[in-house]
Structure 1
């Protein structure tokens, strides 16, 4: 098989990475049992696929000239799974392979900053990959999801006016969906985060729907479910598990056409998780799962439409395997095997606004499908018996294993340029064309960083002025990050240089300079005194637990770690790779 290429298409306003063969073939699958996810009973049929679409489904179809014929006897055809809740926290090649080998053909990406979308879409051209829908992350100030990285990763919204501005910002990057961290309940932990307000959520969904972007929410409580329904979201992509559902909530979800993907897999008390839990944590977790089961049954009985999500990539929830196991857990909680399969195919595609394009086996639909041995609509675990997986009509998996060589684990490096940032660009970007980011400590309360360029001491010269306020918490830290590519995704090779250098004028103290790379990170501390000084740091002065790879550098940061409620300032200029 020739390696697949990825192109971008526009489906109902969504820009999705789609896999297509370099030489598209016509395929006839003969005498296969079809479960089409439309609600029909399974039936035996021939299926013809051309140009990545199902073109004919029926008995005794004539073989098209030159068609590849697949014997479908003793096999079942089902639509590929769509997982609406995935965090790409590992190598993208590794994740893509695991998903495809488990029959997952469309997924979201909840773990990427908007400035990285274009780079990652480009990178997937070199991978054998499922379709990827990139999610813009939004949270209220102090809300779950805003406790790591900075606003380049998760935009903060507390009002309708801020919602409008954030959507205008996102127009530049064109996400495929929007994820709102709407619910601050933290699973019984006394330290809760902030809920988003209903009026802010309504404006987010209004603005998103104008752009054709479905809105998915992190919602885990009954009150949060009501807010999500009244806010007009497309789907709730976590289990509601703080208490038994109110009598009102199921009807609200139905009336507002909200899909429900309970992500049971991430909450499962697996043996590999229990070893690190206390008896109290285990008891609390079991109680939450009881509420999850009760509420799933109540929603199902009320007619709430189900989708499949896993939160894979978080909490040791494996990619691909969890998507199949999610359906098994649905069945354990009272959903029929057929309905679980429909949730994972048609339901999830519909939740992402893609139901007219995929999710069912119908003429005209995208030919993303799986051939399995068995009848997963009767025994859901039969979905594990994968014979073949097809994306856009091209086979990518055979007998559970990826066909052909997967692309590299990391993107190729480009040669590093000497000048990283001199703060002279009118668009406010670094000389690498990237957006500067705040380096902020993890978890609430979070330290604060304010950056602005200002005139320097020389004519037509500018410096970066950084104001820092450290929060009252253990080991507060804050500073500035200089990405070496958009979203720090494509690395640079700095082998021709000896280190980095910059000019700094700052409040005296100990500052931390860090270089991030694929595979490792190195840091060095510097003592800053009064007045401007030139700092030169050889690469071999950077140390860390994993060796720094100067051939695959991702970013440079300059930060300060001090005591809570301390204020710092620094001015920076002429940040370079040094020879």
Structure 2
């Protein structure tokens, strides 16, 4: 396991963050102000008080005690947006690190992101992670609850309905939506299209009544709806259902007048995520973009270039051509086009990918100024936040980026980020650069374990730790399935699984040790895990851990004791497939009880009284 950042370095970072956030009033003087409306940039002063811009003009007075920033020769722009990210996916082969993902955006001048990588249970702890005193620096995070259909895209990764809620009818959607809205998401993301680009077999698609029901309930709650929509017919259905934005480009056919009319009528916007579909074998990086990548990202790019490159597949060539042509058609039609990258998928890096997306618009018919408007005011409008951010004017949120150049004239200058403010707070870019470049993982808040995990004292379907158990499985649309029933006898939970069609089918019942799980659990006071279990089958207990690749998590097989007697599994019995991995009992996240068996078979287990036991 990679060593965590030292306490000394972290304290230094925290103190710097405190100092930065203590500054309330700032005057940025003499910068070229590109206000995000599309108007030409003008040399002006901008005064920030708290989290708001309070004045924009010439020769503004410097209030007593205010910070003064010399903007001469630089351009001040509104903070950029990325309306399609997966923050918990690093985009290269390394475990999740939210601190590095957040840093990547701020270093690139991106101050607002939509995140599609969390379950509802994760939203509150991630918000706490950045809002708490001395919390992590981050852009404004707009979290989505995900909705899909069984066998559809978004459900095939084995994460379960815990992660992507599922409905196949309008009635089912109306049942699921109150559950989704209870988490107070900022947006609802719906996986509409099952087309897999001609590369893989298609998955199931959502029907229009189900999508319309989701949109109706979301809009009543004041939540925008965006869709994974990649086909022309799927886009027409989404626009007819009144979604707020399509957050992928259409890649199977050129847009037509019918779609344009539907999008105009419903005010549906378009976010193409071009950088997620750009053929990576052809990809080149400017010096400015390369400098923004962290060492792990650069290492991946060097490795990709060292491989013998195969010709780009015909379906990729066709899709890429169609996607670029569709940008031009939709721009000509006046459809709002925002910025989203799909960062987190392989090779689409957090922060730099948003700027790369802006650059692509400038190559496809947008002037640099128009591309900046798309990344600022238009993206804010798409998420119904244009009254709060996206432009530079009195009363607007002070999300600002000072650029050492003229990005409204030369888009490459966007890489020259000099200063960033989020809600009026000056971001410590030098510290975040060190964090992003560090080989160690960002420390997470720790919850010390007391012993009980799943006992008869729990209620409301949650654990003794007030966490929600969830099911995960092997990957694929034909993955294994499981149900968990609280049995009346002995306070046990009955787990019943049907194995899927993979070569190694399995299903897991997961007991998070922290909410989400996001934060980490410290079980270092204990010697192992104690439980009661009944059943006959193949069982493993997997220790989900922070800063370890999921394939390297420590695990131990176990056999239930006779008549459900107490069983103890010492931590010393847990092993990893990675001989270099080390089990750190202060970095646990969840206990995963895994049932496995033959393809198409069934396996069951009764489980209860799960707790850590002391030496």
Q: TM-score, normalised by structure 1?
A: 0.92
Residues 479 and 558 of structure 1 are in contact (CA less than 8 Å); yes or no, is this contact kept in structure 2? yes
User: How big is the shift at 1:562?
Assistant: 1.3
Aligned to 2:219: 209
Aligned to 2:113: 107
User: How big is the shift at 1:529?
Assistant: 7.7
Aligned to 1:331: 362
Structure 2 spans left out of the alignment, 5+ residues: 1-13, 90-95, 282-300
CA distance in 1, matches of 2:431, 2:558: 50
CA distance in 2, matches of 1:443, 1:274: 30
1:220-369 mapped onto 2 (5 Å cutoff): 220-271=230-281, 272=301, 279=310, 282-369=313-400
Residues 234 and 258 of structure 1 are in contact (CA less than 8 Å); yes or no, is this contact kept in structure 2? yes
Query: Secondary structure of the equivalent of 2:36?
Result: coil
The C-alpha deviation readout for 1:431-453, integer Å capped at 9, x for no partner, is: 11111111311121121111111
Report the structure, 1 or 2, having the larger helix content.
2
Query: Secondary structure of the equivalent of 1:29?
Result: strand
The C-alpha deviation readout for 1:66-109, integer Å capped at 9, x for no partner, is: 32222221011111101111111231111111110100011122
Residues 510 and 528 of structure 1 are in contact (CA less than 8 Å); yes or no, is this contact kept in structure 2? no
1:1-400 mapped onto 2 (5 Å cutoff): 3-4=16-17, 22-88=21-87, 89=89, 90-124=96-130, 125=132, 126-148=135-157, 149-271=159-281, 272=301, 279=310, 282-397=313-428
Residues 423 and 453 of structure 1 are in contact (CA less than 8 Å); yes or no, is this contact kept in structure 2? no
The C-alpha deviation readout for 1:160-213, integer Å capped at 9, x for no partner, is: 222222221123311111111111111113411111111111111111111111
CA distance in 2, matches of 1:501, 1:319: 41
Aligned to 1:484: 513
CA distance in 2, matches of 1:277, 1:330: 30
User: How big is the shift at 1:304?
Assistant: 0.7
Distance 1:155 1:225, change over 3 A: same
Structure 1 spans left out of the alignment, 5+ residues: 6-19
User: How big is the shift at 1:518?
Assistant: 1.2
CA distance in 2, matches of 1:423, 1:147: 34
Residues 390 and 397 of structure 1 are in contact (CA less than 8 Å); yes or no, is this contact kept in structure 2? no
Query: Which shifted more, 277-286 or 241-250?
Result: 277-286
The C-alpha deviation readout for 1:497-550, integer Å capped at 9, x for no partner, is: 1111211111x2221111111133111223458753433211111111233221
Aligned to 1:522: 554
Residues 103 and 435 of structure 2 are in contact (CA less than 8 Å); yes or no, is this contact kept in structure 1? no
Query: Secondary structure of the equivalent of 1:487?
Result: coil
CA distance in 1, matches of 2:136, 2:275: 27
Aligned to 2:284: none
Report the structure, 1 or 2, having the larger strand content.
1
Q: Hey, which bits of structure 1, 4+ residues long, moved more than 6 A? A: 274-278, 403-408
CA distance in 1, matches of 2:235, 2:377: 22
CA distance in 1, matches of 2:538, 2:424: 58
Distance 1:403 1:525, change over 3 A: closer
CA distance in 2, matches of 1:2, 1:104: 23
Q: Does residue 540 in structure 1 map to residue 572 in structure 2?
A: yes
Aligned to 1:472: 501
CA distance in 2, matches of 1:152, 1:35: 43
CA distance in 1, matches of 2:587, 2:538: 27
Q: TM-score, normalised by structure 2?
A: 0.87
Distance 1:478 1:404, change over 3 A: closer
Residues 423 and 429 of structure 1 are in contact (CA less than 8 Å); yes or no, is this contact kept in structure 2? no
Aligned residues: 559
Query: Secondary structure of the equivalent of 2:610?
Result: strand
CA distance in 2, matches of 1:328, 1:199: 37
Q: Does residue 556 in structure 1 map to residue 591 in structure 2?
A: yes
* Aligned-residue RMSD, C-alpha: 2.2
Distance 1:278 1:24, change over 3 A: closer
Residues 140 and 156 of structure 1 are in contact (CA less than 8 Å); yes or no, is this contact kept in structure 2? yes
CA distance in 1, matches of 2:609, 2:588: 19
CA distance in 2, matches of 1:43, 1:160: 51
CA distance in 2, matches of 1:349, 1:176: 13
The C-alpha deviation readout for 1:226-268, integer Å capped at 9, x for no partner, is: 1111111111111111122233212222221111111111112
